[in-house]
């Protein structure tokens, strides 16, 4: 069993967490400015995780498959962007789980231990505990988890938690031929990103920047973007992702409040019984009712 | 003469209504327990009653649908008797007399009192809400925009909370007003019970039982 779990779904007591990440949490840095869209990362992901998605259909884009699925945990999203100068920019973004520091999926999950967050920052689904309700899909601000039609379990990128646990880098990182994907501690990745951003700015990308959205506490998958001021250009990347206030209400305040209200209602009944007592019919009511009955029947007796 | 009114007992709920009521009651308990297990981690253990988490997730929507279906039958039967009338507002204004067992001060009550009528319409609204939001959350069969599902999830929880609290009140009221549980189990109340709690209804049925009687 793991003893480095800092958060566990539907669990209100501390998780086994004596083993920390004292040398720093991990992060994957995706440099969209270096990505050539070769999809080696997609293949490596399939290979390492032994996933084979259905063969889809061409919908007029290099993007293939069309969307993430229970068996496609990462995907190059291709956007053809015409910049203000009238030039075409091919924006390619490797989509997949962002491994939020404050994960909406984990907050929404009702099944104890179906979603865990390790000390190193990886958010992992434990499918054997998954009940298939899809609340993680409702909770995710990035539209990542997918419920399998085959087994009704939720799946997504694990950040190769099995490889990282034994000191290897994720499979996608290993396969990237251009160095667009790098992996290390979050601090190292931020430093690396800073160098890349400086370089990009010197090449005319004034708005180059790092995507590490604070609304979800930062992420353990970060992007270097040429247009960090317009993340939505990259196939609708959320400009300011955060757990929806509705999800926070539903799986936050509402939980203890509702149980309290139900408990109070039951208690109110009990104390009403104690203070006022039951409402009972006595003999005088029966007598009055009988008298009324007799009175109403009198005309029958008359000829 | 109408056989529903005798000297020692008055028929209040027909076998059909009783069956329908208890079908709603049983499915409500099952839906509430399975729903609560998915709502609060402290109650997740309730999912064991249904065969574990995945079975709870599978069964809950079907139990809910069945509850709505059987409730439809009950609602159609008792709808007319639950329409609020002017006298009901007076009854509600005197809620202090109601909870203090000072029933003699209240206006005469028909088949259902204003509290029962309010409860009835709260149930109607909650069940409509639970049905619509529940369908939106039912990922095995429906895929709706995530923003809609989020709203539905919150509303589903709110409707369930109101429903469960209302039913807790309903259950207690059944116990509080002695003879009510007997009526729903066996169908009959004593004439005194009808006289005390639902006098207008009592007058109505005794009048109906003796149509030659003038109502003066």
Confidence band for A139, pLDDT divided at 50, 70 and 90: very high
CB contact under 8 A, B42 and A259: yes
C-beta separation of A125 from A154 below 8 A: yes
- Check residue A69 and give its pLDDT: 97
Number of H helices, E strands in chain B: 9, 2
Q: What is the pLDDT of residues A167-202, one digit of tens each?
A: 999 999 999 999 999 999 999 999 999 999 999 999
Residue in chain B closest to A108 (alpha carbons) equals B39
- Check residue A295 and give its pLDDT: 86
Query: Which chain B residues are Cβ-neighbours of A67 within 8 angstroms?
Result: none
Block residue for tokens 């008797």: B81
Q: What is the pLDDT of residues A99-125, one digit of tens each?
A: 999 999 999 999 999 999 999 999 999
Mean local confidence (pLDDT), B129-146: 96
Residue A107, CA atoms < 13 Å, CB-side half-sphere:
24
CB contact under 8 A, B192 and A249: no
Q: Among A133, A251, A283, A288, which would you mutate to test the B interface (most chain B Cβ atoms within 10 Å of its Cβ)?
A: A133
Q: What is the pLDDT of residues B41-79, one digit of tens each?
A: 999 999 999 999 999 999 999 999 999 999 999 999 999
- Write the ipTM: 0.92
CB contact under 8 A, B212 and A300: yes
In sequence order, the 6+-apart residues with CB closer than 8 A to the CB of A303 are: none
Say how far residue A36 (Cα) sits from the centre of its chain.
Answer: 28
pLDDT of A42 strictly over 90: yes
pLDDT of B135 strictly over 90: yes
Interface subset of B 7-66, CB within 8 angstroms of A: 7, 37-44, 47, 52-54, 56-58
Mean local confidence (pLDDT), B140-162: 97
CB contact under 8 A, A279 and B103: yes
- Check residue A302 and give its pLDDT: 47
**Which of B139, B146, B153 lies nearest to residue A250, judging by beta carbons?**
B153
Mean local confidence (pLDDT), A125-132: 97
Confidence band for B211, pLDDT divided at 50, 70 and 90: low
Q: What is the pLDDT of residues B113-131, one digit of tens each?
A: 999 999 999 999 999 999 9
- Check residue A299 and give its pLDDT: 55
Q: What is the pLDDT of residues B155-181, one digit of tens each?
A: 999 999 999 999 999 999 999 999 999
Mean local confidence (pLDDT), A67-73: 97
Report how far residue B179's alpha carbon sits from residue B172's, in angstroms, rounded to the nearest whole number: 12
- Check residue B212 and give its pLDDT: 55
Interface subset of A 240-259, CB within 8 angstroms of B: 244, 246-247, 249-250, 254-256, 258-259
**Burial (Cβ within 10 Å: 0-12, 13-18, ≥19) of residue B15:** exposed
**Domains with residue ranges and CATH for chain B:** 13-79+112-186 (1.20.950.20)
Q: Among B192, B194, B214, which would you mutate to test the A interface (most chain A Cβ atoms within 10 Å of its Cβ)?
A: B192
Active-site amino acid positions of B: 170
Nearest 10 degrees: Cα torsion A232, A236, A240, A243: 180
C-beta separation of A31 from A24 below 8 A: no
Mean local confidence (pLDDT), B131-135: 98
A184 interfaces chain B, CB cutoff of 8 Å: no
pLDDT of A153 strictly over 70: yes
Confidence band for A27, pLDDT divided at 50, 70 and 90: very high
CB contact under 8 A, B206 and A10: no
**Domains with residue ranges and CATH for chain A:** 5-243 (3.30.70.20), 250-301 (no CATH)
């Amino acid at each position: 069993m793991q003893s480095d779990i800092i958060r566990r779904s539907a669990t209100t007591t501390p998780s086994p967490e004596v083993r920390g990440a004292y040398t720093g949490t991990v992060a994957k840095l995706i440099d969209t400015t270096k990505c050539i869209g070769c999809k080696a990362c997609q293949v490596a992901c399939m290979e390492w995780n032994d996933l084979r998605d259905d063969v889809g259909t061409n919908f007029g884009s290099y993007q293939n498959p069309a969307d993430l699925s229970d068996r496609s945990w990462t995907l190059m999203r291709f956007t053809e962007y015409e910049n203000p100068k009238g030039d075409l920019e091919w924006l390619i973004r490797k989509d997949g789980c962002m491994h939020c520091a404050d994960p909406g999926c984990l907050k929404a999950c009702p099944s104890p231990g179906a979603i865990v967050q390790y000390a190193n920052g990886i958010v992992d689904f434990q499918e054997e505990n998954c009940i298939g309700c899809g609340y993680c899909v409702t909770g995710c601000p990035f539209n990542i988890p997918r419920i399998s039609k085959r087994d009704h379990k939720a799946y997504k990128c694990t950040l190769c938690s099995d490889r990282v646990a034994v000191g290897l880098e994720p499979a996608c990182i290993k396969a990237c031929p251009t160095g667009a994907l790098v992996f290390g501690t979050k601090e190292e990745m931020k430093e690396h990103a800073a160098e890349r951003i400086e370089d990009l700015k010197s090449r005319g990308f004034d708005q180059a920047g790092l995507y590490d959205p604070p609304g979800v506490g930062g992420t353990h998958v970060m992007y270097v973007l040429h247009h960090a001021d317009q993340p939505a250009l990259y196939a609708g990347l959320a400009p300011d992702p955060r757990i929806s206030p509705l999800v926070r209400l539903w799986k936050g305040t509402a939980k203890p409040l509702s149980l309290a209200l139900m408990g109070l209602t039951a208690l109110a009944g009990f104390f009403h019984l104690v203070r006022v007592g039951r409402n009972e019919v006595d003999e005088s009511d029966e007598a009055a009712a009988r008298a009324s009955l007799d009175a109403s029947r009198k005309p029958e007796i008359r000829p | 003469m109408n056989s529903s009114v005798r000297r020692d007992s008055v028929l209040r709920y027909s076998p059909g209504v009783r069956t329908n009521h208890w079908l709603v009651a049983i499915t409500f308990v099952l839906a509430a327990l399975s729903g609560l297990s998915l709502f609060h981690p402290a109650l997740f253990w309730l999912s064991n009653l249904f065969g574990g988490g995945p079975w709870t997730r599978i069964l809950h929507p079907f139990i809910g649908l069945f509850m709505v279906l059987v409730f439809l039958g009950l609602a159609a039967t008792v709808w007319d008797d639950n329409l609020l009338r002017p006298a009901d507002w007076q009854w509600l204004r005197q809620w202090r007399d109601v909870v203090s067992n000072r029933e003699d001060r209240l206006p005469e009550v028909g088949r259902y009192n204003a509290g029962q009528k309010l409860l009835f319409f709260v149930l109607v609204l909650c069940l409509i809400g639970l049905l619509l939001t529940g369908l939106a959350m039912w990922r095995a069969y429906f895929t709706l925009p995530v923003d809609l599902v989020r709203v539905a999830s919150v509303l589903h929880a709110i409707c369930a909370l109101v429903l469960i609290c209302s039913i807790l009140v309903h259950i207690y009221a059944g116990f509080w007003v002695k003879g009510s549980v007997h009526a729903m189990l066996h169908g009959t109340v004593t004439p005194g019970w009808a006289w005390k709690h639902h006098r207008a209804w009592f007058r109505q049925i005794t009048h109906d039982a003796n149509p030659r009687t003038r109502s003066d």
